[in-house]
Structure 1
Amino acid sequence: MQLTDRQLNDYIDDVLFFGREEKQRYERQIDHLKQTLVNALQANSSLRAWKILHAGSWHKGTALRPFGTQDIDIDIILYLNVPETGRGDLADLHPLLLRSLRAAYPTKDPNDFTTSRKTVGIEFRTSGLLVDLVPVIPTEQPEGYVWQTERGGRGTSLTSPEGQLEFIRQCKARDPRYVQVVRLAKRWRNHRRLHALPSFAIELLVAHLGLTQGVPDTIEQGFYRFFLYLVRGLKERITFPGALGHPPRSACPVQIHDPTNNENNVTARMEPDEVTALLHEAVVALQAVNHAMSVERRGDTEKLWKQVLGPEFSLSR
């Protein structure tokens, strides 16, 4: 049986969606972290964060409510008071931020602090909150863009966090089902443990389908065509109108580019075996959803959708 928007929205609201009070509780913790970090930077370095921007799925409205072992990932962009011309001398930027965080939270387990290529992370185990701090250096031109540095001074990339947020805002305005399809796709990714596929890539894939195929008539149709696109191999290079630059020549198996700068491949770190696993799981999911749409018994339909989205899925009356 085919599912109505109401049935899928009931599942999304009951299982995947953040309630207002629940979200406010996390936002208070995030606001406290931001102020603590500002104070720590002032006390431990010459750096100043003249602007702090929420980014990522949380700010875009596509984050999933945590359950089981799933945590909440928050991205916070730190606009630093570093001259643009000095961006090449920031090999110690990530260690400096790490030291400032540790100074701000001296009683936390050292394992709660992490560094990656472009971020410094802190985990709050009690609430399940994972915060990635992204240090950036604003540019004079183009306006609204920043240089994002890599750990150890190994390179910089030009992007626009505000432009990315505006891009998603336009997707939501254009397609009233955009957020629901993205949430279902992320839930499938998490359920099947396909963590190599970034959340931003999912948001861009759904956006690409909306721009090239139009707004789906139902949430189910939008979710179905997401899998239909994946099983075709992800061989198409995906870019978006209005982005700066041109995509570089690349051997990356998947190429989904930043909607603000074509030189940035959001999926550049996906390995061939990870892509193979993703495509295999997409075939399995597509078959399950297709079968669910054709069976008549409600129980059979629900069972098939559980294979795709996990045991928490249930159909409303």
Structure 2
Amino acid sequence: MTIKEIAKLAGVSQATVSKIINNYDDVGAKTKERVLGIMEEHGYRPSYAAQSLVKKVTKVVGVIYAGKINANFNHPFFVDVMSMFKKTMGAEGYDLLFFSNEKFHKNNENYLARCQHYNVDGCIIIGGDEVEPSVYELDQSEIPCIGIDLPLSGKHSGYIMTDNAKISALAVEHFYLLGERNIAFIGGKKTSNISTERLHGFKEVMKTYGLPVKEDWIKHGDFFEESGFIAMNELLEQEECPEAVFAASDLMAMGAVRAIKESGRKIEDFAVIGCDDITASRYIDPPLTTVKQDKDKIGKMAAYVLKDMINNQIEQTSVRVEPELIIRESCSEKKRQLR
């Protein structure tokens, strides 16, 4: 069926059918009901491209994994967040367009020009280390953008992230209540905004409880397991070794647990807390105590905020999501009694 055929069956002009398709309010209720009834009867679906041209929207959202750490799309935290974002945006009628940053080391990718070329309605930007300057050019543009773990400041931008200071506070407080006093920190790279926030929170809460902050016990990795393994080995090699470790990601915490085991020491002699509550954290030995980031809530919140920005219902905004301590055997009262 075409608009011409629908118009003929309904006894109206093609212009009237077009107005009804595009939800104009200057068509009578009875005429609108008759035309919609004919469209439904004949299974007519208006051309998506035609609607897009009229409304100047594409129902396409750009996805940018900014910087180095996210180039391979493989960190479990971001996979889960994006899964919920995709599901929520899909239910709202949006498709996702993924932008490549494979030339990150060679060029400053012009994301703004590419977004304009594809006429995306908005963008979600996943934050990593060493974010390309072009990302911030996009942030300051007229294109609505929502950042995940990436503070954006543009007039039409916002960001969603967990309260990183609270993440560290929950971990240190749990250590303190279990009588742990010699605590190390394993974070991401020094260039990582998220790691910096968690380290700052760690130091502040340590000072609040009168616990010593030893610079030799602060190590940096890249949020993945191997870097946690290397960092923990460096801690174990020190003359004075910490008995408790807070790692800024579950994967690094898993690497720390592996390092303790392979060193020949008893895992029962150490308390380990991670961050994220990825699925694997509950299945390692021992199951990992972690500070949970509500990945579903972050993904859903990002989708709804971006949609409202696209529809000019809100402008600049930011949301800090509350974390939650999940206690398992790697750092628990039960484990403390075994030591």
TM-score, normalization: structure 1? Answer: 0.24
Larger Rg: 2
TM-score (norm 2): 0.23
